[in-house]
């Protein structure tokens, strides 16, 4: 893959994740940690959706009639649940191999998800009620341009959810040194110097005309797994709206 001069896509990052496409949906494979993390992220997103769109938490399809965009969708771990919540979902990913795996997984389930191998800055669609990008911004070439692309896609009254590792000693120990050395995350997945602090990300969002209305941490315990927390040291989620 060659990178256009304006692209935020890092070819080496796209190649790394594209090489993992074949077993992305295997809960014991190279994306096992994402499978364990996904329910926690989905719970956070559902709570934010219910609050923002004034939905009853008992609704099975709170996103019915709404458009959702997941940027850096991989093989569709978030796109599929969003589609089941009623949204018309578009998923973008830098790796064509991931898009192919996502399409192959969605097809037998009759999930009509629009998957595209495209950079957010080249994406022309607008007016998405929900824009998500989870564990992606730390892999792009130009985070500010990436955030601007997310902002352009968001509807005026839309909701955005972003998550990313914090740049701390704890995240370096847990997500780079221990996780990759023990094989829980494929080697080369994370580069600690590319992690972004909450203050840095909030400034980028502000410059793109966006406002953070919630920041919550994701913590990990060997006994209980991942959970939402006030501790931002490892990883965090942000709920974002237009300023």
pLDDT, one tens digit per residue, over 38-51 is 999 999 999 999 99
pLDDT, one tens digit per residue, over 2-31 is 333 357 877 876 677 777 777 888 888 877
- The pLDDT value recorded for residue 224 is 87
Supply the angle between the helices 96-106 and 11-18 in degrees, to the nearest 10.
40
- pTM value > 0.85: yes
- The pLDDT value recorded for residue 86 is 97
Confidence band for 243, pLDDT divided at 50, 70 and 90: very high
With contact defined as beta carbons under 8 Å apart, do 73 and 93 qualify?
yes
Task: Compute the average pLDDT of residues 86-93.
Answer: 98
With contact defined as beta carbons under 8 Å apart, do 89 and 66 qualify?
no
Q: Which residue has the higher pLDDT, 170 or 2?
A: 170
Number of CB atoms found within 10 A of residue 97's CB: 19
Task: Compute the average pLDDT of residues 55-73.
Answer: 97
Burial 143-169 (b: 16+ CB within 10 A, else e): bbbbbbbbbbbbbeebbbbbbbbbbbe
In angstroms and rounded to an integer, the radius of gyration of the C-alpha atoms of the chain is 17
Instruction: With CA atoms as reference, report the closest residue to 243 among 213, 223, 215, 218.
Output: 213
What phi, psi does 128 have (nearest 5°)?
Answer: -80, 130
- The pLDDT value recorded for residue 10 is 74
Question: CA torsion sign, 99 to 101 to 107 to 110?
Answer: negative
List Cβ neighbours of 181 (8 Å cut-off, separation of 6 or more): none
pLDDT, one tens digit per residue, over 120-152 is 999 999 999 999 999 999 999 999 999 999 999
Angle subtended at Cα 81 by Cα 78 and Cα 82, rounded to the nearest 5 degrees: 80
pLDDT, one tens digit per residue, over 95-124 is 999 999 999 999 999 999 999 999 999 999
pLDDT, one tens digit per residue, over 180-194 is 665 566 665 667 888
- The pLDDT value recorded for residue 91 is 98
DSSP-derived pairing of the beta strands 154-165 and 235-242: antiparallel
With contact defined as beta carbons under 8 Å apart, do 165 and 226 qualify?
no
Examine the pLDDT at 87 and tell me if it is beyond 60: yes
Question: CA torsion sign, 197 to 31 to 130 to 57?
Answer: negative
């Amino acid at each position: 893959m060659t990178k256009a001069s304006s692209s935020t896509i890092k070819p080496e990052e796209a190649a790394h994740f594209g090489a993992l496409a074949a077993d992305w949906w295997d809960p014991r494979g190279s994306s096992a940690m994402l499978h364990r993390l996904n329910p926690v992220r989905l719970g956070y997103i559902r709570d934010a959706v219910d609050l923002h769109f004034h939905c009853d938490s008992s609704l099975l399809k709170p996103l019915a009639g709404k458009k959702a965009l997941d940027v850096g969708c991989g093989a569709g771990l978030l796109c599929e649940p969003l589609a089941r919540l009623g949204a018309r979902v578009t998923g973008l990913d830098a790796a064509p191999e991931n898009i192919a795996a996502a399409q192959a997984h969605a097809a037998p389930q009759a999930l009509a998800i629009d998957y595209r191998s495209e950079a957010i800055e080249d994406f022309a669609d607008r007016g998405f009620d929900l824009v998500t990008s989870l564990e992606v911004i730390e892999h792009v070439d130009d985070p500010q341009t990436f955030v601007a692309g997310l902002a352009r896609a968001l509807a005026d009254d839309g909701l955005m959810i972003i998550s990313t590792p914090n740049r701390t000693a704890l995240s370096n120990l847990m997500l780079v040194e221990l996780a990759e050395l023990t094989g829980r995350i494929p080697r080369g997945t994370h580069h600690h110097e590319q992690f972004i602090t909450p203050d840095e990300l909030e400034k980028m969002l502000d410059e793109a005309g966006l406002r953070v209305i919630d920041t919550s941490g994701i913590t990990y315990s060997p006994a209980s797994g991942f959970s939402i927390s006030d501790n931002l040291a490892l990883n965090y989620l942000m709920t974002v709206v237009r300023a």
